[in-house]
């Protein structure tokens, strides 16, 4: 069970009651229904021009790269469609629910959406170093079957379902359910999604809505929010002080689970569903309100003094996140660097390292200003790892990565020159000392 956010697409579906009737269009509709099959060009996601598959266009080649005829729901402004490739990635398939306009603009970064070489990072354990088991009080969970080293990829999971969070407010709820069911049942392995845990939300949600609400993540693609479901990732349980973290690649629609510390055999592998830096009461409120459970992890059930120390640490981290940029702008570098080093110590202590990547840039720049090139390079390399180390970066990440690589080369060159000068200075100092000893008649 895993759900990092509830999205407008689904939550709105649960509250619809009286709307104007939309017209469904399916691959089984009569030939005179021309909306059916209104989809994307054969080169996916690279332009907003729509192509309408005609009444007799049932040739699968016309649907490329989709393995099914696009399934669309008519709305006032433009249709909402299910685009499915049942075979890729890696056999389990992917369904995308969105409008053709959104697909042709925001999703244009998916230049190689089904190209295997663009998916997983190289340093991943194969076979998987864990097993899914029943865990008392938690349902299913993930247990390590071998020692997993810090910084290694545990799992790369590609989205089975991706949906834009905007909702067509002029359609019937039953029609949205039809889109959702079509998106899941057309997958290459629908049972992987249908077998996930549910909360049992009663009459307010159908079984498939309940399943998606319980197991969906919110991801950003070019700054736009989408709902995404990852069938294998959904087996990882929440912990407020997890031993693993997740990273989403908007270019490949893949989520990677990374070990944030060494994990021993038999230990449960956990991730966090809550936002970084939340205090204990804030986390409990968010987890209960959004995901419907009360957290009973080791941190939340620890003695009051331990929980208070953790809250104090996280409150201090939050304070540093606000003060460090301000001190840097005021060029109070020494004070800012002291706070940054202390902040990263607290971050490490609280197991939040993965959620502080944007803060590495500040000490990298400030150490350069104060002339500590080695520390500047250390933090610049951390920034590069955050961009490049977890899957394939998006367009913005690729541009930033190129800039980081240029900075790293410059720093390495400056460090080399500095060390050569220091070495030369040391040799000259030895020669001067030797000359003075000779003049003074000393050995």
Residue limits of CATH 1.25.40 in the chain: 304-407
- Reported as a single tens digit per residue, the pLDDT across 49-89 is 333 333 334 566 666 677 888 888 877 777 888 888 887 66
Instruction: State percent of the chain over pLDDT 90.
Output: 27
Q: Say if residue 360 is exposed, middle or buried (CB neighbours under 10 Å; 0-12, 13-18, 19+).
A: buried
Q: Give the full edge-to-edge strand order of the sheet including 94-98.
A: 24-25, 71-73, 80-85, 94-98, 161-164, 224-229, 216-221
Q: What is the model's pLDDT at position 282?
A: 92
Q: How confident is the model at residue 372 (pLDDT cuts 50, 70, 90)?
A: very high
Mean pLDDT, the chain, whole residue set: 76
CA 22 to CA 16: how far, in whole Å?
A: 13
CA 160 to CA 430: how far, in whole Å?
A: 67
Q: Is residue 171 predicted with pLDDT exceeding 60?
A: yes
Q: How confident is the model at residue 268 (pLDDT cuts 50, 70, 90)?
A: very high
Least confident of 23-32, 127-136, 149-158: 23-32
- Residues 360-381 have a mean pLDDT of 91
Copy the structure tokens of residue 128.
């998987």
Q: Say if residue 62 is exposed, middle or buried (CB neighbours under 10 Å; 0-12, 13-18, 19+).
A: middle
CA 182 to CA 193: how far, in whole Å?
A: 13
- 268: DSSP letter: B
Q: Give the full edge-to-edge strand order of the sheet including 254-259.
A: 153-158, 254-259, 244-249
Copy the structure tokens of residue 31.
């030939």
The conformational region for residue 237 under phi > 0 = left, psi -120 to 50 = alpha, else beta, is: beta
Helix (H) or strand (E) holding 235: none
CA 280 to CA 297: how far, in whole Å?
A: 11
| 106-120, 176-190, 321-335: range with highest mean pLDDT | 321-335
Q: What is the model's pLDDT at position 334?
A: 93
Pairing label, strands 224-229, 216-221 = antiparallel
Beta carbons of 253 and 159 less than 8 angstroms apart: yes
Q: What is the model's pLDDT at position 404?
A: 82
Q: What is the model's pLDDT at position 77?
A: 75
Q: Is residue 119 predicted with pLDDT exceeding 80?
A: no
Least confident of 55-69, 356-370, 376-390: 55-69
Give the number of other CB atoms < 10 A from CB of residue 216.
Answer: 24
Beta carbons of 177 and 10 less than 8 angstroms apart: no
Beta carbons of 282 and 293 less than 8 angstroms apart: no
Half-sphere exposure of 421 (CA within 13 A, CB side): 6
Assign 265 to helix, strand or coil.
coil
- Residues 326-352 have a mean pLDDT of 92
Q: What is the model's pLDDT at position 409?
A: 92
More confident residue, 306 or 294: 306
Q: How confident is the model at residue 123 (pLDDT cuts 50, 70, 90)?
A: low
More confident residue, 129 or 104: 129
Q: How confident is the model at residue 205 (pLDDT cuts 50, 70, 90)?
A: low
Least confident of 87-91, 203-207, 390-394: 390-394
Assign 83 to helix, strand or coil.
strand
Q: How confident is the model at residue 291 (pLDDT cuts 50, 70, 90)?
A: confident
Give the number of other CB atoms < 10 A from CB of residue 209.
Answer: 21
Fold designation for 304-407: 1.25.40
């Amino acid at each position: 069970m895993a759900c990092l956010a509830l999205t407008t697409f689904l939550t709105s579906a649960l509250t619809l009651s009286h709307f104007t009737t939309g017209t469904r269009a399916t691959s089984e509709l009569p030939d005179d229904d021309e909306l059916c099959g209104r989809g994307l060009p054969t080169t996916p996601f690279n332009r907003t021009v729509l192509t309408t598959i005609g009444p007799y266009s049932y040739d699968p080649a016309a649907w490329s790269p989709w393995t099914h005829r696009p399934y669309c729901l008519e709305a006032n402004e433009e249709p909402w469609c299910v685009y499915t490739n049942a075979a890729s990635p890696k056999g389990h398939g992917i369904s995308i629910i969105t409008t053709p306009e959104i697909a042709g603009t925001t999703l244009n970064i998916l230049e190689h959406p089904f190209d295997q070489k663009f998916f997983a990072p190289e340093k991943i354990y194969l076979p998987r170093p864990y097993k899914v088991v029943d865990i008392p009080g938690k349902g299913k969970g993930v247990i390590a079957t071998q020692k997993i080293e810090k910084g290694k990829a545990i799992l790369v999971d590609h989205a089975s379902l991706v949906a834009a969070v905007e909702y067509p407010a002029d359609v019937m709820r039953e029609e949205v359910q039809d889109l959702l069911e079509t998106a899941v049942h057309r997958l290459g392995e629908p049972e992987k999604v249908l077998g996930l845990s549910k909360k049992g939300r009663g009459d307010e949600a159908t079984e498939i809505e309940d399943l998606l609400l319980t197991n969906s993540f919110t991801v950003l693609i070019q700054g736009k929010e989408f709902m995404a479901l990852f069938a294998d990732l959904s087996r990882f349980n929440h912990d407020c002080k997890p031993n693993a973290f997740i990273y989403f690649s908007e270019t490949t629609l893949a989520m990677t689970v990374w070990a944030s510390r060494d994990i021993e055999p038999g230990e449960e592998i956990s991730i966090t569903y809550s936002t970084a830096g939340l205090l204990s009461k804030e986390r409990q409120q968010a987890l209960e309100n959004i995901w419907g459970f009360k957290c009973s992890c080791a941190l939340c059930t620890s003695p009051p003094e331990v929980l208070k120390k953790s809250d104090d640490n996280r409150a201090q981290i939050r304070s540093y996140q606000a003060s460090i940029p301000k001190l840097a702008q005021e060029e109070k570098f020494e004070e800012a660097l002291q706070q940054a080093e202390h902040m990263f110590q607290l971050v490490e202590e609280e197991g939040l390292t993965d959620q502080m990547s944007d803060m590495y840039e500040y000490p990298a720049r400030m150490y350069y200003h104060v002339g500590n090139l080695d520390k500047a390079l250390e933090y610049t390399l951390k920034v590069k790892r955050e961009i490049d180390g977890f899957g394939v970066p998006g367009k913005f990440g690729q541009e930033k990565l190129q800039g980081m690589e240029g900075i790293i080369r410059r720093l390495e060159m400056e460090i080399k020159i500095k060390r050569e000068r220091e070495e030369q200075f040391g040799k000259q100092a030895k020669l001067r000392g030797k000359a003075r000893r000779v003049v003074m008649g000393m050995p």
